[in-house]
Amino acid sequence: MDFKLTEEHLMIRDAARDFAKTELLPGVIERDEKQEFPKELIKKMGDLGFLGMMASPEYGGGGMDTISYVLAMEELSKIDASASVMVSVNNSLVCWGLDTFGNEEQKKKYLSKLTTGEKLGAFCLSEPEAGSDATSQRTTAIDKGDHYILNGTKNWITNGSSGDYFLVIAQTDKEKKHKGINAFIVEKGWDGFEIGPKEQKLGIRGSDTHSLNFNDVKVPKENRIGEDGFGFKFAMKTLSGGRIGIAAQALGIAAGAYELAKDYSKQRKAFGTEICNHQAIAFKLADMHTQITAARHLVMKAAWDKDQGENYDLSGAMAKLHASKTAMDVTIEAVQVHGGNGYVKEYHVERLMRDAKITQIYEGTSEIQKIVISRSILKD
Ligand code: CAA
C-alpha cells in the first residue's frame, strides 16, 4: 500500500490549482449570476490539456491516469464547479467513451478535436420520462439502411448549447428493450437538431444545461458506436467512470468550502477570540476534515481500481454516494461557520452550497448509487 502521490501527480494537481486560482476565480461570481461561461475560458482549459486528460495521445489526449484526472477535478471544483462539470462530461463521458468504444474513423474525426478543446462534447441519455429509469428510452433511431432517422427529446444536457458533438442514446428496436438501444455521434447544426432554452438552475449556473429536440435527424450509420444494440451497455460503462469524475467534483466542492471556513474561522473574532478557538466551530471543522478525508480515500480508490483494470462499478458508486453527501454536509456547515457573511455572494460558500446539490442528482442519483452498491454486495 502506498498513499503517496507521485511527482507527476503533484505537478498536475498544482497546475490545476494554479489555473483555478488565476483563471477561474476572477469572474466566478459574475458567471454564476449571469449563467454564462465564456468560450475563451473553455479554449484555455483545452490548451492546458484539461479537456482530454485520459484520452490516447495519438488522438491529442494527455494519456494520463485516472488519479491525475481526479486530482485536477478536485482542484477545479474547489473554485468553479461549473467549469469542472464541463471538464468532467468532456473527459469521462465523451472522450473516454469514444476512445474506448469508438472505431478508428470516429476517433480521428471526432475524438482528436474533443481532446484539444477545439470542439466540446455532450452526453445525451436523460429524457423527460427516462432519468433514473434509463432503459425506458423514448427517443427512437429507425434503421434506414445506410443511416438512422432520429426523433425525440433529451433533457438536462450539460454543454447543451456550447457542445459541438453529442453522444445520443436512442431506441432502435423497442421489442429488444435495453438490447435494442444504440449510441450515436450527432453534430450540432444537422437538419432537425434543435437546442431548447437554457435551464434556470439552482447551482452550477455557469454551465449551460438544455433540452435537445431531434426531428427526423439523419444520422449516418458510421456514426453508431459499437455493434448494433451496444448503446445501453455503452451508457452504463461510460457512466461508471463518469461517476468517479463527479465524485471528485463533489470532493472538490467540499474541500473548497472547508478551506474557506477554516481560514475565516482564524480571522473572525467573537467573544474576545478568533472563532476557531470556540469548540462549537473547531468541532465543525474536525467533522468536515474527517468526512472530506474519507471521501478523498474513496475517490482515490475508485480511480486506482480503474487504472489497475479492476472493476470500478462498486467503488465508483460508493465514492459518488459518499462524496456528494459530504459536499452537501460540509458546504452547509461552511455557510454556518461564516454566519451572516456565509449568506453573501462575495464569500463564495453560498455558491458552493448551491453547487453541491447537483452532485447527488446527476450521473445517477444517490438512490441509483445505492441500487448499484446493494446489487453488487448482495450478488454473491
Ligand atoms: N456496465 C456494463 N453493463 C451494465 C452496467 C455496467 N455498469 N450496468 C448495467 N449493465 C447492463 C446489465 O448487465 C444488463 O445487461 P444484460 O441484460 O445483458 O445482462 C443491462 O445493462 C440492463 O441492466 P439492469 O437490468 O441492471 O437495468 P436496470 O433497468 O435495472 O437499470 C440502473 C440499472 C443502474 C438503475 C441504470 O438504469 C442507471 O444507471 N440509471 C441511472 C442513469 C443515470 O446515471 N443517468 C445520468 C444521466 S447522464 C448525466 O447526468 C450527464 C451529465 O450531463 C452530467
Indicate whether residue 239 lines ligand 1 (CB < 6 A).
Answer: yes
For residue 94, what is the DSSP state? I
Q: Which atom of ligand 1 is nearest to 134's Cα? A: 37
140: left (phi over 0), alpha (psi -120 to 50) or beta: beta
Q: Decide if 159 contacts 90 (C-beta within 8 A).
A: yes
Phi (first) and psi of residue 181, to 5 degrees: -105, 140
Q: Residue 53: which of 4, 101, 15 has the closest Cα? A: 15
Residues 343, 327: contact at Cβ < 8 Å? no
- Report which protein residue has its CA nearest ligand 1's atom 48: 363
CA dist., res. 246 & res. 182, Å (int): 24
Ligand 1, closest atom to CA 313?
Answer: 7
Is the pLDDT assigned to residue 105 strictly greater than 90? yes
Asked if residue 368 has its Cβ within 6 Å of ligand 1, the reply is yes
| Cα 174 to averaged position of ligand 1 atoms, centre (Å) | 17
- Average pLDDT for 233-254: 98
Take atom 29 of ligand 1 and give the residue whose Cα is closest.
135
Ligand 1 atom closest to Cα of residue 93? 51
Predicted local distance difference test score (pLDDT) of residue 9: 98
- Residues recognised as catalytic: 363
Measured from the CA of 133, which atom of ligand 1 is nearest?
37
Ligand 1 proximity of 166 Cβ (cutoff 6 Å): no
Three-state DSSP at 176 gives: helix
Lowest mean pLDDT among 81-85, 120-124, 134-138, 350-354: 134-138
Whether 370 lines ligand 1, by a CB cut-off of 6 Å, is no
Q: Find out whether the beta carbon of 238 lies less than 6 Å from any atom of ligand 1.
A: no
Q: Check whether 380 has a pLDDT greater than 90.
A: no
Q: Whose CA is nearest to atom 47 of ligand 1?
A: 363
CA of 22 to the centre of ligand 1 (A): 39
pLDDT at 1 over 90: no
Rounded to the nearest angstrom, the gap between the alpha carbon of residue 309 and the centroid of all alpha carbons in its chain is: 21
Give the integer Cα–Cα distance in Å for 361 and 355.
11
Residues 6+ apart with CB under 8 A from 348: 28, 29, 256, 260
Identify the structural domains of the chain with CATH numbers, from first to last.
7-119 (1.10.540.10), 122-231 (2.40.110.10), 240-378 (1.20.140.10)
Which residue blocks in 28-128 are alpha helix, DSSP H?
28-34, 39-47, 66-79, 81-88, 96-101, 104-106, 112-114
User: Is any ligand 1 atom within 6 A of the Cβ of residue 240?
Assistant: yes
- pLDDT tens for 259-312 read 999 999 999 999 999 999 999 999 999 999 999 999 999 999 999 999 999 999
Say yes or no: CB of residue 208 within 6 Å of ligand 1. no
Q: What is the pLDDT of residue 2?
A: 87
With a CB cutoff of 8 Å and minimum separation 6, the contacts of 180 are 171, 172, 173, 174, 229
Phi, psi of 126 (to 5 degrees): -65, 145
**What mean pLDDT do residues 37-41 have?**
94
Rg (CA), the chain: 21
- What does the pLDDT read at residue 266? 98
Pocket-testing residue among 96, 208, 233, 361, ligand 1, by greatest number of atoms within 8 A of Cβ: 233
Phi first, then psi, for residue 280 (nearest 5°) are -55, -35
- Per-residue DSSP letters for 327-339? HHHHHHHHHHHHG
Cα separation of 45 and 22, whole Å? 12
Does 371 sit in the ligand 1 pocket, CB within 6 Å?
yes
